Amino acid sequence: MFGSEGGITDSHGDLRSELLAATAKRWVKQYLASLENPAEAHTETARLLQAAADACEEGVPRCHLISYQRDGALIAELLTRDGSGTMIVRESYEQIRTAVIDDVGGILELIAPLEEKGILVRRSRERLEMEIERFTVVERDGAIIGCAALYPFQEEGVGELACVAIDDHYRGGERGDRLLHAIELTSKSMGLTQLFVLTTRTAHWFIERGFREASLDSLPKEKKALYNFQRNSKVFFKPL
């Protein structure tokens, strides 16, 4: 579908390359409810988004919203990974799954920039290969664009959420929330009652998702013994 706008943007102004039909319908409903003048409802973007969502619910696998004002927009949308507009789909082209040994290279490439900035602790390929079963990844068209790891401390009934990373090009799409949800489900299936995280830069993100700051003494004994005082990470816990 061609329109004057080049797709759908989120509240931060970032283009959403993919949007679930159910989410699209919810956004349109929220938009209509916010209007004081019903006549304003018939905007081009609202009409196109509603039509795309309806088409997907009726069986169309995907619809594309792109701009007729951009040269080559259709070719870019169909032949590049991220496209030029917004694709409305019944089911996401991305999948969240347990990592396998073939994902090591993709994870290393993903976390390398964060390691260089000191946000994540460095992990060697050998260590990552040994711990690969601890990782959950977000895969999009064969590329790893997100990851997180879970290290359980069964005796204390808690798990460490570690190595949370999302590719810079794919932030703003709730992928971090989906990763956290997957880790929480895995934790519960293992009988864990709490998650904790050590972070130096992104405390606000975890606080917004139910984590609360705790003391160093709250850590499992094994983790406390390995605490790096030079990094001076803050400790946050979340009940499950």
Distance CA 74, CA 19 (A): 18
Burial class (CB in 10 A: 0-12, 13-18, 19+), 75: exposed
Question: Which pLDDT belongs to residue 163?
Answer: 95
pLDDT (mean) for 174-199: 94
pTM listed for this prediction:
0.67
Is residue 96 scored above 80 in pLDDT?
A: yes
Q: Which of 32-41, 88-97, 133-142, 207-216 has the lowest mean pLDDT?
A: 32-41
Cα–Cα dist 51/154, whole Å: 50
**pLDDT confidence tier of residue 173, bands split at 50, 70 and 90:** low
pLDDT at 85 over 80: yes
Residue 3's pLDDT is 75
Is 66:73 a contact under the CB 8 Å cutoff?
yes
Tens digit of pLDDT for each residue in 6-59? 777 776 677 777 777 888 888 788 877 777 665 555 678 788 888 888 888 888
Say whether domain 94-239 belongs to CATH 3.40.50.1360: no
**Domain extent listing, the chain:** 2-89, 94-239
Integer CA distances (angstroms), 12 to 8, 20, 79, 213, in order: 11, 18, 26, 27
What pLDDT does 150 receive?
97
- Residue 28 has what pLDDT? 82
Residue, of 117 and 173, whose pLDDT is higher = 117
Band of residue 95 on the pLDDT scale cut at 50, 70, 90:
confident
H or E stretch covering 47: helix 44-57
Give me the mean pLDDT over the 122-145 stretch. Answer: 92
Considering 68-72, 106-110, 117-121, 225-229, the range whose residues carry the highest mean pLDDT is 106-110
169 or 181, which is more confident:
181
Mean pLDDT of all residues in the chain?
Answer: 87
Question: Following DSSP, what letter does each residue of 76-113 receive, concatenated?
Answer: HHHHSSS-SSEEEESS-SEEEEE--GGGHHHHHHHHHH
**With 0-12 CB in 10 A as exposed, 13-18 as middle and 19+ as buried, what is 151?**
middle
Q: Mutual orientation of helices 44-57 and 21-34 as an angle, nearest 10°?
A: 140
Q: What pLDDT shows up at residue 36?
A: 66
pLDDT in tens, 137-155: 999 878 899 999 999 999 9
Taking residues 84-109, what's their average pLDDT? 87
At residue 42, the pLDDT reads 63
Confidence class for position 1, pLDDT limits 50, 70, 90 = confident
CA-to-CA distance for 123 and 231, rounded, in angstroms? Answer: 15
Whether 65 has a pLDDT exceeding 70, the answer reads yes
The Cα 91–Cα 22 span in angstroms is 10
